[in-house]
Structure 1
Amino acid sequence: MTTPFDPPVPPARPAPARPGRKLGPIAENVGSAHRAWLEPMRETYLKSGMTLSELSVRILFAKSKLSELLRGTGLYPRWEIILSLATELKMPGWPLYRLWRQAAFEAHKTRDWVERCSERTALTTTHTVPPLDHRAFRELMESDYHRYAQVFLDDDQRDTAVSDAFDILWLCWNDALSSPDTRHFAWKILRTTVMSRTPHLDGRPELGWAAFDTVALHALTTEADRMNQVEESLKLFTAMSRLPHRQFDVMVLRRLCGFTPEETSALLGLPLATVRSSERHAIHFLESLLCPPPEPEGNTP
């Protein structure tokens, strides 16, 4: 059962202004695994107050190549340069390496290439322990995160997505602690990670076969009844995919994962009233799609 996790919120500090040309956006063709480590690294750089010129001098890497790296253009970067950059930005090496390695395989790098990139930095690629409060947060949330991810992904993808989400959260843990609600901050990371691996149809997520593992389906005894229930569930899931993100997550957690409103509130980091309101609006929308009111008899030809 999920319980609230509300660390103290230190005052927010504005990012220092920096001279020079503004760093361009991440390239659109950057894959989800690459973005998983690149986005936290960019955010850390942007908050550091350093310029690309300063960073280039510190890590002995050309400014133009550094700009490419932080935009995800050019060749996929070797681990040595990522480690040098992480060291200057004071980012933890172990979760960054795990995410970098996974993205390297997504970029079709061979295992031999990955190992050669890492052989000179063995001490930075061994497992290290995350902060105590991060570990406590993971113990509280991990099993519930798995239940959400299971709705969309198979077992292997589910485990990888949840593990990646906690690695990304580790990279920006200080930001999570300084946010208004650590749970809400973490949920956005989990959702983005799960959805990046979830098949989409017309821009809307498709629920996996695990979503059909419902009480209603198990209660039926004949094959015909079960097929009818599957057809009804398909219509419901298709309609659910049209909900706004918050309402969609509330319905998945409440109706497919079986969480109570209080547990859903704690998982999402949202007020209980917001969860109940989101559920009411979602149900009203689904009913309007699946159970439209009959047309008046006078309109019948």
Structure 2
Amino acid sequence: MTSPLDPPVPPDRPAPVRPGRKLGPIAASVGSAHRAWLEPMRDNYLHSGLTLSELSVRVRFAKSKLSELLRGMGLYPRWEIIHSLSAELGLSQWPLYQLWRQAAVEAHKSREWIERSVEKTTVATTHTAPPLDHQAFRELVENNYRLYAQAFLDGDHLEAAVCRTFDILWLRWNDALGSPDLRRFAWQALRATVMSRTPHLDGRPSFGDAAFDTIALQTLADTADRLNQIAESLELFSAMSRMPNRQLDVMVLRHLCGLPPEGASALLGVPLATVQSDERHAVHFLESVICPPSDTEGNTP
């Protein structure tokens, strides 16, 4: 079993050359939930060596429709065809089904439509257990993933984002294990999922109500003297939302979630020195954009 803390060596997995027209890109209109299962399905197809014509014969679905499906175009696909494709392309069906169902809800498909779409494949969607190393990794990071998500989301959105992250990782587990760093691969999946559900203002993420309730906010003033008394203010959160992604993540983990630098380093999959550098730059940025209290001592006329 691969240790979650030891990045594996990426395997040599070149995409085979196939005849015929190249598959086009995913449509820009495809939402994050739909993209969550479509991207790994496309990846498996591109590495399968199959042509669209060959895949069309195997799943008994028109080649033109397959092309549309793999680009996220046309109507949202029914589960029967996704189930058939998963069998041919070697995708784990349970996490695929969970992601497909979530995307169907976000595509405004009714409960009746979803249930009818699944009728003939109910047995195939029976819950199965993920790989043991996936379970071990989830146990290692889930609580901290939830703390991070809580800074931006609450309620059902919070739980859905965390669950979707681990479904994505399960579906892409071989890719995760073959990446330069499993922890960094997983964090990118979490961050993308959380941000896709986070309200944004002028392109910047808005912190959720839960961020104001965390005790760790009180420690932010210890990072720099000039941050005293403003740790819970809207001004601070607005300034933090303008930071580069990694600096924002480091500040959330360190000062909203209360992780030590070593913990943030392990969770993000980056060196400790990088976390410390990002934190210093983030604090300097906050000091530069948030006006400190005026010191009027000695300035009285």
Give TM-score, length-normalised by structure 2.
0.89
- The residue that corresponds to 1:59 in the other structure is 59
Matched, 1:92 2:92: yes
- The residue that corresponds to 2:109 in the other structure is 109
Matched, 1:170 2:170: yes
Residues of 1 paired with 2:144 and 2:216: CA distance? 22
User: Contact 1:4 / 1:266 at 8 angstroms: preserved in 2?
Assistant: no
- The residue that corresponds to 1:158 in the other structure is 158
Residues of 2 paired with 1:231 and 1:274: CA distance? 23
Residues of 1 paired with 2:114 and 2:214: CA distance? 42
Q: Which moved more, 1:237-246 or 1:3-12?
A: 3-12
TM-superposed CA distance for 1:293, in Å, is: 11
Residues of 2 paired with 1:117 and 1:229: CA distance? 55
Q: Which moved more, 1:31-40 or 1:230-239?
A: 230-239
- The residue that corresponds to 1:284 in the other structure is 284
Give % identity. Answer: 72
Residues of 2 paired with 1:4 and 1:96: CA distance? 23
Residues of 2 paired with 1:232 and 1:111: CA distance? 41
Residues of 2 paired with 1:186 and 1:201: CA distance? 26
Kindly tell me the number of residue pairs found equivalent between the two proteins.
Answer: 284
Matches within 5 A, 1:250-269: 250-269=250-269
What's the secondary structure of 2:56's corresponding residue?
helix
Structure 2 gaps of 5+ residues are 220-227, 295-301
TM-superposed CA distance for 1:168, in Å, is: 0.5
Residues of 2 paired with 1:179 and 1:216: CA distance? 32
What's the secondary structure of 2:65's corresponding residue?
helix
Q: Which moved more, 1:99-108 or 1:264-273?
A: 99-108
Q: CA 1:99 to 1:115, structure 2 compared with 1: closer, same or farther past 3 Å?
A: same
Matched, 1:23 2:18: no
Q: CA 1:275 to 1:193, structure 2 compared with 1: closer, same or farther past 3 Å?
A: same
Matched, 1:47 2:47: yes
Q: Which moved more, 1:102-111 or 1:158-167?
A: 102-111
- The residue that corresponds to 1:128 in the other structure is 128
What's the secondary structure of 1:127's corresponding residue?
coil
Q: CA 1:111 to 1:262, structure 2 compared with 1: closer, same or farther past 3 Å?
A: same
Q: CA RMSD in A?
A: 2.2
Give TM-score, length-normalised by structure 1.
0.89
TM-superposed CA distance for 1:56, in Å, is: 1.2
What's the secondary structure of 1:48's corresponding residue?
coil
TM-superposed CA distance for 1:230, in Å, is: 7.3
TM-superposed CA distance for 1:10, in Å, is: 4.4
Q: CA 1:95 to 1:4, structure 2 compared with 1: closer, same or farther past 3 Å?
A: closer
